[in-house]
Amino acid sequence: MKVHLAQLNTIVGDLTFNKNLILKEAEIAVANGANLLLTPELSITGYPPEDLLLDQEFIKECDRSVMEIAEKFPGIMVAIGHPMLVENKLYNAVSILFNSKILSTYRKKILPNYGVFDEKRYFSEGNKNTIIDYQGKKIGFLICEDIWVKEPTASLIKEGVEIILCINASPFELKKQQKRIDQVKKIISGNNLTLVYLNALGGQDNVVFDGGSFVYDGIKGLTTELPQFESISETIDLNSKKAFVCSTYNDMEIILKGLVLALHDYLEKNNMQRVFLGLSGGIDSALVLYIATKAIAKNNIHAIMMPSKYTSDISLEDAKKLAEDLEVDYKIYPIDSLIDNVNQVFSEEFKGLPSDITEENFQARIRGLMLMGLANKHNGMVLATSNKSELAVGYSTIYGDMVGGFCVLKDVPKTMVYKLAQHINSTKKIIPGRIITREPSAELKENQTDQDNLPSYEVLDEIIRLYIEETKSSAFIINTGFDSQIVEKVVKLINGSEFKRRQSAPGPKITSKAFSVDRRFPITNKYKTKLQ
C-alpha cells in the first residue's frame, strides 16, 4: 500500500488556498501511484481556526470544499482533516473521501485543552473507532492528541487494525520530535502494525508547526521520517524493505529553521513584504536581522541605527559591518536632538528630580516612535527584538523597544540567543565576534550593562526555566542552590511584568512553556509565593 504524506503549510481561514493545496497534492499522489493521500489535522481550515469555528457559514464553506475535493479526485482515497457539524455538535474530524463521496469519518476522541490548545471550547468528543478495509488491510484513524493517551490506540489494536493513520497539527518545541517518536514506540512496539504520523507545517501567530512526519512499524521500528521545517511531500510504500537511517538532530539548526519559517509565514500570510528593525550593535537585533535575511528578500529589510550619546563606537562599527555583510539597507538616525527636545518639554515638571529610568525610557520610546513612523510611511512592519529573558523580567520598555508586529525571539532565552549566534558563525563568521563576546548593554546611560540590574543570564535563564517551564516554587528553586535574594527578585519581576507581556507582539513558541500561549496569569494579582 502506498500512502502519500502531504506535509502541508496551510493558511488559517483561507479555504480556497487550502483546498487548492490539497488538490495539487492529490495530482502528485495519483502520478506517484499512491492509494491514499493523507493531509494534516484540520487541513481544510488551517490550525488553529479558533473562533472562526463559531461561524456557521464558515463551517458550510468547509463542507463545500471537502465535497469539491471528493468530486475532483474520485479514484484515490483522500484523508482530509475538517470540522464536521452533526446534530448541532461540532467535531474535529478526518473524513476518507472515495468515489466522489465521504466513505467514512472519524471524530477525534481526546480534545486537548492546555497550553496552546483550546479544543473543548469548540468541539465535542468522538466516541467511536473508524476502521476501513482496503486491499485486505484493516486501517484505523486517529487525530493528534489521541496518540498521547493509551485508549484510542489500544482499542484499534484490539479490533485487529494493521495500519493506523494519525493526522496531526502538533506545534514545535525543542526536543518534541523525539518525544513523538518515543510515544508511538511505547504504544505500538511489539504489535504487528504500522502507524503513519502526518504532521502540519508552517507558522501561525504564536506557534510554528515543524512537520517531521514519520512511519513507525511495531516490529521494525522507525522506517521513514520527513525533515522538520521543510515543505515536502512524499509517497511511502508501507511494504518497502528499504533500510532506513535515523535522523540526527542539531538543536540549534532546528530552532533556527523554525524561527525563519515562523517569521516568513507571518509576513507572507499577512501580506507584509517590508520590515524595519532597530539595529543596536547588540546580539538580539543582530540575530533578528540574520533571521530576517533568511525569511524574506534582503532588499525589503531596513536596519536602522539610532545612536545617542551613550552609544559606543563599538556598537556603531559592528552594526554597520553586520548590515553591510548581510547586504541590507542600513541607515543612521541620531536621536540626541530629539532626546533634548523631550527633556526640555519636561524640564519644569522634573525640576529638582534626579535622572532615572524615566529618561532611559524616553530614549527607547523615541526609537520606537521612529521605527513605527518609517514602517507606517513605507507600508512595512517593525520587527521587535526582545527575547524571552527580557520579557520574563520586564527588562524592556513598553512602547519602546517592545514595539513591533512580530517578535521572533519572544520564546528564545538570552543564553539560547548566544548559542544560536555561535551556531550561525560555526561555518562562516557572519555576526561580528564582539557582538557575541562583549557584555550586553542597553546603552541608555554611561557604562551600563544588563547585569547592573539582573543576575548573569546563565543564572537568570535557569531560574526562569524552573519557575515558568517546570512550574517549580521559589522555595524549591532556592533549595537547589540559588541565592534566595536573587530568586525572590527574579520571581517578583516575572510576576510584576505580566502587563507588559500582554501588550507584546506575537512570536513563535519554541520551549515547553511560552508566556503568550502556555501561561495565563492575571495582571491584577496579589498572590505571593512563599520562599520557605
Amino acid at 396: S
Residue 197 · residue 166 · CB < 8 Å? yes
Amino acid at 233: S
245: three-class secondary structure by DSSP: coil
CA distances to 282, 332, 447 from 312, rounded to whole Å, are: 11, 14, 10
| Residue among 316, 370, 315 nearest 342 (CA) | 370
User: Mind giving me the DSSP string for 68-116?
Assistant: HHHHH-TTSEEEEEEEEEETTEEEEEEEEEETTEEEEEEE-S----STT
CA distance 120 to 123: 5
In the residue annotation, 41 being an active-site residue is answered as yes
| Residue among 80, 132, 138, 71 nearest 104 (CA) | 132
CA distance 266 to 250: 24
In the residue annotation, 458 being an active-site residue is answered as no
CA distance 273 to 250: 30
Give every strand in the sheet of 214-217, ordered side by side. 131-134, 137-143, 163-168, 194-199, 214-217, 221-225
Residue 295 · residue 260 · CB < 8 Å? yes
User: Mind giving me the DSSP string for 145-177?
Assistant: GGGGSHHHHHHHHHTT-SEEEEEE--B--TTHH
Residue 165 · residue 214 · CB < 8 Å? no
**Burial (CB count <10 Å: 0-12, 13-18, 19+), residue 460:** buried
The torsion angles phi and psi of 456, rounded to 5 degrees, stand at -55, 150
Residue 228 per-residue DSSP state:
B
Residue 468 per-residue DSSP state:
I
In the residue annotation, 144 being an active-site residue is answered as yes
Residues 6+ apart with CB under 8 A from 255: 174, 412, 416, 420, 510
Residue 140 per-residue DSSP state:
E
Q: Which member of 25, 62, 108, 443 is catalytic?
A: 108
C-alpha cell at 243: 533500510
CA distances to 140, 188, 222, 235 from 162, rounded to whole Å, are: 8, 11, 16, 19
Residue 381 · residue 275 · CB < 8 Å? yes
Q: Which member of 62, 144, 166, 407 is catalytic?
A: 144
Residue 431 · residue 425 · CB < 8 Å? yes
Q: Which member of 25, 41, 145, 173 is catalytic?
A: 41
**Burial (CB count <10 Å: 0-12, 13-18, 19+), residue 283:** buried
Residue 287 · residue 419 · CB < 8 Å? no
| Catalytic center residues | 41, 108, 144
